[in-house]
Amino acid sequence: MRSKTVPLPPRAAKEPHRYTLHGLERNDEFSWLRLSEKQRRTKTPDEQTRRVTAYLQEENTYTEGVLAPVAELRHTLFAEMKGRVKESDISVPYRENGYWYQYRFDEGTEYPIHMRAPVLAERDQVPEEFEDFLNENIMAVGHDYFDLADFEIAPGNKLMAYSIDTVGRRRYEIRFRDLSTGQDLPDVIIRASDGGAFADDSTFFYVRKDRSLRNARVFRHIMGTDPATDVEVFHEKNRAFSCDVFRSRSDRYVIISTESTLSSEHRLLRTDDPFGEFKVLFPRGRRHEMSIMHVPNAENPHLPGKFYILTNWKARNFRLVECPEDATAKTNWTEVVPHREDVLLEDAEVFRDHLVTTERKNGLTHLCIRQLSTGKEHEISFHDPAYVAFGGTNPEWDTTKFRFGYTSLTTPTSVYEHDLLTGWDRLLKQQEVLGGFDASNYISERVWATAKDGSRIPISLVHRHDVVMDGHAPFLLYGYGAYGINVEPVFNSARLSLLDRGFVIGIAHVRGGEELGRAWYENGRMEHKMNTFTDFIACAEQMVADGHADPKRLYCMGGSAGGLLVGAVMNMRPDLWDAVVAEVPFVDVINTMLDPTLPLTTGEYDEWGDPRESGSFQRILEYSPYDNVHDAHYPALLATSGFHDSQVQYWEPAKWVSRLREHQQGNRPILLWTNMDAGHGGATGRFERLNEVARVYAFLLGRAKGHLGSLNGQGT
């Protein structure tokens, strides 16, 4: 008999939806859960919309009911995490085009307030008084969701463009503000991407999205005119590509970049010729990825300068080359940083007399400095076993100071200024963690697991110094493994609520990321995608074999493509986990990749494959979580989604959860919680998002402490 205190799970109707592809008939019995964007946004919902939203609300109610035993813990966790945040805080100021910029948080507010002040006669002296020019808290009033994606200041410093999204679909509205009066202008651009570029004070270039939310067309807007009359200057017709537009740091060019998974192209227009024609710098080539940097002539800014190109042409791990601004053919390329088989060249920043490169060696980042006039080199040193360092805000080319960020699993995010001439580092600010945080109470480690093919997989670990690594502590393993994106071992003050309650947390740097170079990514996509999942399982098994974890207290977590990861390993090894957290999980891979009208689909054929092709279909079918649900004793699951998510549509986790319940042979809970007011990133406010974290942590702690036990009868 089911306990009266435990609610019954919702039961989604099963409505046959059969189709045959490559000789295989498939039934998507929960496809009725899908709503169009128009249905989601309408103020007068039709019958299907009411049916679907009612079902999602039932799921939310059920989840809250199952989590009722840990409701008090959730409140405690939220208060704890909020209490670590310094409510009144201010960023490190930076200097750009005659002004200092910074932002602050006021006590009790969710969003930052952006400020600026003119540069003083003593350029390095920061003014005492700053003027507010953009208060996100005022702009967010009346919106359940608010995202300020970007703001751009025109060259004359009197005009600003900014882009906002109040739904969560990544379809932005661009507005313009007169900074001398603080008033917005009547020019409003809708259905745009999240950025743009001023050529001069009266000409602004931006990108409009197509129906699938792909960044497809670049337009020129003349201030004071109707945006409906804006002129299209570029149309990216290849649906595998998306485009962006930005202003070069040298202020010489407006640049249109177009990118797919494996290739890129750039078109340039001089800022002093805003009505001219964009010209292709390097024609796109299959599997040729590059980024470009223009630097002015150091002796005479009126003469041609240089282009620096970060390229993977004849260099799988990328190399850096340079060429004259007026002679860009590959025959004129000069090597600056050569290709290396064991080092991934991730980024480069060029200053008047210095080059700073970000390199990945053995999974860890290194910041390397070269003086261009002398060739002298040095490297910024770091000592944590697992960390990440990255270039900060460096808008000025003519400087001998370099800003960079640093963080580790035990070190709060820190902003440093590195003197490029002396090699000295100066700490400008470290994230202040309230509530008695002491870094010495925690230990960070870097260990390795061995994959089934012999590859060694790095794992970053963190735990309290008084936690004995004998398998009795609950162990949470996190992973992602896609797009060449690395899951960095960064500090997270909210995570302390798990660590202080005895959790060990590990990050599995599986193939599909680029932690160990470009080959690490290549061996975790397309026909090699299965490596991502078997690597993650190998990491978990290694932790068990080493005595660090026990399947009875082993948990895994991932979001988006990381949700695909944990969904796949749930099917492959349901016995290995007590519980799983899948945040906005990409779990219905075949159906999504068969639909070119959905955002991201056409641009990701090179990541997952095109299931219209038989080979890709068979490969995806091997791991797609929704298609591989089977009768099993599944671990407990908390899946989350955003109703307006444009990257992973809400119906993917909704359908997946419904199918899992049909096949659950055990009695551990399968839960779905949908934020009805948000998109892919969930809640937007700095405190509001902690409520979502508290729900996840309460679920994990509830399982670990036995407060969320089995549900009698579920799955039968």
User: Does 364 reside within a domain?
Assistant: yes
Give me the domain span that covers residue 401: 343-432
User: Does 647 reside within a domain?
Assistant: yes
Question: What is the SS3 string spanning 193-257?
Answer: CCCCEEEECCEEEEEEECCCCCEEEEEEEECCCCHHHCEEEEECCCCCCEEEEEECCCCCEEEEE
Q: Which two tokens stand for residue 540?
A: 């978990």
Q: Could you tell me if 596 and 616 lie in one domain?
A: yes
Closest CA to 592 of 632, 633, 626: 626
Q: Could you tell me if 407 and 465 lie in one domain?
A: no
Q: Vertex 366, ends 363 and 368: CA angle to 5°?
A: 150
Name the pairing type of β-strands 401-408 and 387-391: antiparallel
Q: Which two tokens stand for residue 70?
A: 């840990």
Closest CA to 507 of 364, 358, 702: 364
**Residue 289 and residue 310: Cα distance in Å, rounded?**
8
Beta strands in 522-599 (DSSP E): 554-559, 579-583
User: Does 715 reside within a domain?
Assistant: no
**Residue 478 and residue 474: Cα distance in Å, rounded?**
13
User: Does 259 reside within a domain?
Assistant: no
Sign of CA dihedral 526, 532, 533, 535: positive
Q: Could you tell me if 512 and 554 lie in one domain?
A: yes
Mean pLDDT by 10 residues, the chain (716 residues): 66 94 95 92 90 97 96 97 96 97 96 97 94 96 92 97 91 96 96 94 96 93 97 95 96 96 95 96 90 92 93 97 95 97 97 97 96 96 95 96 98 98 97 96 97 97 96 97 96 98 98 97 97 98 96 96 98 98 97 93 94 97 98 98 92 98 96 92 88 97 87 40
221 within 8 A of 202, measured Cβ to Cβ:
no
Q: What is the predicted pLDDT for the residue at 685?
A: 86
Q: Could you tell me if 661 and 600 lie in one domain?
A: yes
Provide the annotated active-site residues. 560, 645, 680
Torsion angle of the four alpha carbons 529, 535, 540, 543, in this order, in degrees rounded to the nearest 10? -170
Total Cβ atoms within 10 A of residue 149: 15
Percent composition of the chain: helix, strand, coil (DSSP 3-state, to 5): 25, 35, 45
Q: Could you tell me if 476 and 611 lie in one domain?
A: yes
User: Does 669 reside within a domain?
Assistant: yes
**Residue 208 and residue 219: Cα distance in Å, rounded?**
7
**Residue 175 and residue 223: Cα distance in Å, rounded?**
11
Q: Which two tokens stand for residue 237?
A: 């017709």
Among candidate residues 373, 403, 432, the one where a domain is terminated: 432
121 within 8 A of 134, measured Cβ to Cβ:
no
Residues listed for the chain? 716
Amino acid at 127: P
Q: Which two tokens stand for residue 644?
A: 């307006």
Q: Could you tell me if 417 and 549 lie in one domain?
A: no
**Residue 615 and residue 22: Cα distance in Å, rounded?**
10
Closest CA to 162 of 128, 204, 109: 204
Phi, psi of 570 (to 5 degrees): -60, -40
Total Cβ atoms within 10 A of residue 36: 11
* CATH number of residue 554's parent domain: 3.40.50.1820
139 within 8 A of 7, measured Cβ to Cβ:
no
**Residue 48 and residue 485: Cα distance in Å, rounded?**
37
Q: Could you tell me if 535 and 635 lie in one domain?
A: yes
Q: Could you tell me if 419 and 448 lie in one domain?
A: no
Beta strands in 381-490 (DSSP E): 387-391, 401-408, 414-419, 425-430, 442-450, 456-464, 475-478
Q: What is the predicted pLDDT for the residue at 5?
A: 63
500 within 8 A of 536, measured Cβ to Cβ:
no
Q: Could you tell me if 508 and 655 lie in one domain?
A: yes
Q: Which two tokens stand for residue 321?
A: 């080359």
Name the pairing type of β-strands 94-96 and 89-90: unpaired
Q: Could you tell me if 426 and 453 lie in one domain?
A: no
Q: What is the DSSP string of 479-538?
A: ----TT--------GGGHHHHTTT-EEEEE--BTB-TT-HHHHHTTSGGGTHHHHHHHHH
Q: Could you tell me if 663 and 536 lie in one domain?
A: yes
User: Does 495 reside within a domain?
Assistant: yes
Which residues share a beta bridge with 27? 18
Coil vs helix vs strand at 295: strand
Q: What is the predicted pLDDT for the residue at 710?
A: 67
Q: Could you tell me if 397 and 485 lie in one domain?
A: no
278 within 8 A of 269, measured Cβ to Cβ:
yes
Domain count, the chain: 2
**Residue 514 and residue 500: Cα distance in Å, rounded?**
31
Torsion angle of the four alpha carbons 657, 662, 664, 670, in this order, in degrees rounded to the nearest 10? 30
**Residue 600 and residue 113: Cα distance in Å, rounded?**
32
The CA distances from residue 646 to 182, 244, 590, 661, 680, in Å, are 33, 18, 17, 26, 7
User: Does 670 reside within a domain?
Assistant: yes
Burial zone of 81 (CB within 10 Å; 0-12 exposed, 13-18 middle, 19+ buried) = buried
Q: What is the predicted pLDDT for the residue at 2?
A: 41
User: Does 279 reside within a domain?
Assistant: no
Closest CA to 237 of 264, 260, 217: 217
The CA distances from residue 73 to 464, 665, 709, in Å, are 20, 29, 16
Alpha-carbon Rg for the chain, nearest whole angstrom, is 26
Give first-to-last CA distance, the chain, whole Å. Answer: 12
